[in-house]
Amino acid sequence: MEIVAYGVLADEEPLLTEAFRRAFDAEHELRCLSLFLNKDTSPTAADHEVVLSSVNDVLDADVLRALAAGGTRMIAQRATGHNNIDLAAAQELGLTVARVSSYSPYSVAEFAWTLALAVNRRIVRTAHRTREFDFRLDGLMGRDLHGRTAGVVGTGKIGAVFARIAHGFGMRLLGWDIAENPDCLALGMEYVGCERLFAEADLVSLHVPLLPDTHHLVDAKALALMKDDTILVNSSRGGLVDTDALLETLRAGRLSGVGLDVYEEEAGVFFLDKSLEVMTDERLARLMTFSNVLVSSHQAYFTRDAVGQIAETTMANIADHFAGRSSDNTLVRSAAA
């Protein structure tokens, strides 16, 4: 049987194919495609029982109907997030949907810190200057993080690693979550309401999933509560931040730095080469004009360790489908599975 994977990145493909070989040897074949799965590309999935999707694929009801009509029975999402999949439609169509519920939390937490440090110490501006042999320090002053307050929004596995690193810097820890993490409490974290966290933190880092209750968690009201020199980092989901409100805040000269690895309208932009095109997303283009804003292309998870774990878990999800099993990774299970 041939299994098809969509949105496969060049550096990801060797890890994905090796994990597939170990799991299935010559029993099945894997076809890796760089194109994303959406309404226009869904016909290419015809006659494939199993489809491996990426977080930037668009799996709405129309696409799922096309997949089901073409013989697809299982969608294995190579990511933790699944807000790009219409799970209700998948249930109605009898499709099994699984995800990767967890992978290396260090990959994302360490990258969130990379963004925080880069905007604090003006690393991108420095690199651009020194490449032109401009070695002035004007406009490059950062600040010590030691002794300042880190606000960790979401203290699950990734947030806890972020907090541990902050503790290593000697920072005071504030946390917000629906449940307190004992590991974070052991670091001295104080759990507070969102409003207090936003008001007191010198560094705010977001590590919660995108749900109806967390959509635009950082809105105009939240941004107004933050100090003028707060650093804001989002390495979780773009929809957590109201981009229009963030732009207004930046235009007012507020926030010391912003590091964004995700963006609420990133689908159709991130993971693609847009360098020869006119950027039609005006909000993203405006974000890029601020010297204290650093935007990366959803790469926080992109380490050999994490991508390897994602590949291994994806293969286990496929094996579960063939065996008629479900697991904690199963989001929707077909009645026929």
Active site residues: 237, 266, 298
The encoded tokens of residue 292 equal 């204290």
Q: Residue 298: which of 290, 307, 289 has the closest Cα? A: 307
Q: Residue 76: which of 101, 105, 106, 39 has the closest Cα? A: 101
Residue with tokens 């799922």: 64
Q: Can you say how many angstroms the Cα of residue 325 is from the centroid of all Cα atoms in its chain?
A: 28
DSSP summary character for residue 55: T
Helix (H) or strand (E) holding 61: helix 61-69
Kindly list the strands in the beta sheet with 203-206, ordered across the sheet, starting from the edge strand earlier in the chain. Answer: 190-191, 172-176, 149-153, 203-206, 231-234, 257-260, 293-295
Q: Residue 116: which of 290, 300, 253 has the closest Cα? A: 300
